[in-house]
């Protein structure tokens, strides 16, 4: 039995001990391949093609690269899938012009931890905490309701539509890269469906191969097949990471496979999961490395923190979720004081929005609240206040570093792939523009995301997501949701 299970949890439901019927053999097909609703000769239709030059002209350019700098009025030249130049003014001859006047031009957001398979269950657990504390009001907690409940009933087709819809929804909100923390590997077909859903959303992503639950599951050894089949090249939009949850029996094998395949090893590190002793032991044994992504990092000992920092591990914080679901206080200051690379992550939409404006605002306000309290209490050594430009770094380049993608994305740097968003600074909730980083972090929301480009390809254009019939996909997601609710024996009550 793992540490998360209550004594009352049937042993068969414990991860790694599963005795649930085998997954139905069924493929998550690519039935939802992008629609051809983008005309071939249009700017979006031609974007991303080899040799195609697009000059993003006259925007407020926030590069998130100190060597490139920022421009109150600047241009970004894209050729094919790459950024080739960023400057105050660029002459680009035959390039097609993308007028960016009134827009903030910046790198797309990077979400380093998102359980996309739960998209259809959005807000189902809006009032839940993460694990059962024995109180009647928390009987419907995340671990039991989601992982031991709903998730057990997913078919490959459910995995596919959830992944696809969640990915497109976040792309529409300017999040161009994700690490999908996928815990739905009941069978090889489930894993394939998850990867195909990620792929068909067409954004940059890291497929996080976390746990599987059913008898006959391919996980964790299936990592070798998946790596070979889908991820033999690093020169593609999708890469792979290995889940290595230390609250699950057999995590040692997951870590060994991850390192054998040169994959990063990502895991939740949460005090309420009762994992502190194991995490301390791994720290003492020198098991941490720069390949580790530690998610949450709440409640860990100073020794473990030091070992994580010394090893060059990355920290992914889901600030609103950690506060809301009782993971413990987000350790923002701790990670910053140790000089660690810190990114932001949305975690679960069953409980909180996956919108990155929400993430940045939560980060900056919580850090400043803590620092301000210390200043008010007379502490002369209170931490420096986080600035809005810092929040943007955590939401972009630090995420890229965390996922080993910083040579490709995370900033507007010549030579990197063109993962670029244009945010409308003339909108009612923003105008007049007086501070670029401040406007993005303190004023904007997803309604300001005007244009989204991934590897040079325009995926959202003038406020509209391209290439997918979202009405059709929504109906498919609702059908999947209905099936999962029914199988889980949960009434669909909007006021429960
Ligand atoms: Zn998580």
**Domain positions in the chain:** 43-107+411-465, 109-402
> If you search the block for the tokens 């009762």, which residue do you land on?
274
Quick one: which of 293, 161, 189, 315 has its CA closest to 239?
293
Distance 218 CA to ligand 1 centre (A): 21
Cα–chain center distance at 243: 14
Cα–Cα distance measured from residue 86 to residue 92, given in angstroms and rounded to the nearest whole number: 12
Cα–Cα distance measured from residue 479 to residue 381, given in angstroms and rounded to the nearest whole number: 55
Distance 324 CA to ligand 1 centre (A): 13
**Enclosing H/E stretch for 472:** helix 470-488
Cα–chain center distance at 106: 18
Residue 126 and residue 83 in contact, taking contact as beta carbons nearer than 8 Å: no
pLDDT per residue rounded down to tens, the chain (496 residues): 444 444 444 444 444 443 333 444 343 333 344 444 577 788 999 999 999 999 999 999 999 999 999 999 999 999 999 999 999 999 999 999 999 999 999 999 999 999 999 999 999 999 999 999 999 999 999 999 999 999 999 999 999 999 999 999 999 999 999 999 999 999 999 999 999 999 999 999 999 999 887 877 899 999 999 999 999 987 899 999 999 999 988 899 999 999 999 999 999 999 888 888 899 999 999 999 999 999 999 999 999 999 999 999 999 999 999 999 999 999 999 999 999 999 999 999 999 999 999 999 999 999 999 999 999 999 999 999 999 999 999 999 999 999 999 999 999 999 999 999 999 999 999 999 999 999 999 999 999 999 999 999 999 999 999 999 999 999 999 999 999 999 999 999 999 7
Quick one: which of 439, 465, 481, 250 has its CA closest to 349?
481
Q: Using DSSP, state whether 68 is helix, strand or coil.
A: coil
Distance 318 CA to ligand 1 centre (A): 8
Residues 6+ apart with CB under 8 A from 484: 120, 121, 150, 153, 154, 158
Quick one: which of 206, 172, 207, 210 has its CA closest to 401?
206
End-to-end C-alpha distance for the chain, whole angstroms: 31
Q: Tell me the pTM.
A: 0.93
Distance 295 CA to ligand 1 centre (A): 7
Cα–Cα distance measured from residue 79 to residue 64, given in angstroms and rounded to the nearest whole number: 20
Distance 345 CA to ligand 1 centre (A): 9
Cα–Cα distance measured from residue 97 to residue 431, given in angstroms and rounded to the nearest whole number: 24
**Region for residue 232 given its phi and psi (left: phi exceeds 0; alpha: psi -120 to 50; beta: otherwise):** alpha
Distance 339 CA to ligand 1 centre (A): 23
What beta strand segments (E) does 130-209 contain? 175-182, 204-209
**Region for residue 394 given its phi and psi (left: phi exceeds 0; alpha: psi -120 to 50; beta: otherwise):** alpha
Distance 139 CA to ligand 1 centre (A): 20
For domain 43-107+411-465, the question of CATH label 2.30.40.10 is answered with: yes
Distance 322 CA to ligand 1 centre (A): 10
Q: What CATH class is the domain 109-402?
A: alpha beta
């Amino acid at each position: 039995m793992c540490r998360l299970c209550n004594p009352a949890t049937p042993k068969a439901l414990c991860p790694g001990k599963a005795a649930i019927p085998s997954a139905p053999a069924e493929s998550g097909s690519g039935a939802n391949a992008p629609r051809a609703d983008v005309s071939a000769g249009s700017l979006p239709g031609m974007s991303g093609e080899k040799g195609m030059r697009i000059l993003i002209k006259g925007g407020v350019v926030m590069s998130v690269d100190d060597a490139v700098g920022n421009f109150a009025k600047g241009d970004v030249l894209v050729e094919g899938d790459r950024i080739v130049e960023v400057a105050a003014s660029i002459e680009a001859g035959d390039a097609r012009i993308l007028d960016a006047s009134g827009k903030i031009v910046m790198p797309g957001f990077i979400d380093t931890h998102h359980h996309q398979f739960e998209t259809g269950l959005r807000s189902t657990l809006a009032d839940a905490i993460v694990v059962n504390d024995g109180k009647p009001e928390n009987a419907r907690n995340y671990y039991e309701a989601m992982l031991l409940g709903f998730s057990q009933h997913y078919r490959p087709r459910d995995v596919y539509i959830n992944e696809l819809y969640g990915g497109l929804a976040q792309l529409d909100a300017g999040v161009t890269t994700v690490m999908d923390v996928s815990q739905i590997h009941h069978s090889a077909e489930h894993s394939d469906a998850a990867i195909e859903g990620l792929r068909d959303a067409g954004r940059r992503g890291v497929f996080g191969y976390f746990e599987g639950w059913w008898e006959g599951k391919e996980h964790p050894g299936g990592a070798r097949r998946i790596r070979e089949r889908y991820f033999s090249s690093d020169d593609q939009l999708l890469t792979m990471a290995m889940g290595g949850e230390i609250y699950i029996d057999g995590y040692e094998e997951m870590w060994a496979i991850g390192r054998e395949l040169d994959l990063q090893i990502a895991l939740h590190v949460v005090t309420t999961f009762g994992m502190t002793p194991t995490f301390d032991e791994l720290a003492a044994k020198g098991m941490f490395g720069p390949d580790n992504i530690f998610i949450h990092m709440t409640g860990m000992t100073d020794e473990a923190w030091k070992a994580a920092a010394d090893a060059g591990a990355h920290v992914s914080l889901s600030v609103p979720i950690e506060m809301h679901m009782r993971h413990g206080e987000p350790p923002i200051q701790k990670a910053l004081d140790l000089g660690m690379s810190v990114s932001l992550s949305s975690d679960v939409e069953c409980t909180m929005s996956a919108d990155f404006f929400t993430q940045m605002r939560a980060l900056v306000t919580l850090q400043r609240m803590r620092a301000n309290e210390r200043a008010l209490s007379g502490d002369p050594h209170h931490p420096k206040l986080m600035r809005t430009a810092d929040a943007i770094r955590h939401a972009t380049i630090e995420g890229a570093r965390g996922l080993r993608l910083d040579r490709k994305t995370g900033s507007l740097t010549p030579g990197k792939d063109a993962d670029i968003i244009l945010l409308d600074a003339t909108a009612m909730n923003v105008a007049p523009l007086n501070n670029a980083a401040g406007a993005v972090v303190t004023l904007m929301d997803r309604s300001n995301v005007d244009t989204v480009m991934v590897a040079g390809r325009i995926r959202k254009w003038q406020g509209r997501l391209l290439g997918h019939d979202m009405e059709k996909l929504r109906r498919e997601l609702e059908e999947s949701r209905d099936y999962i609710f029914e199988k889980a024996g949960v009434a669909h009550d909007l006021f429960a």
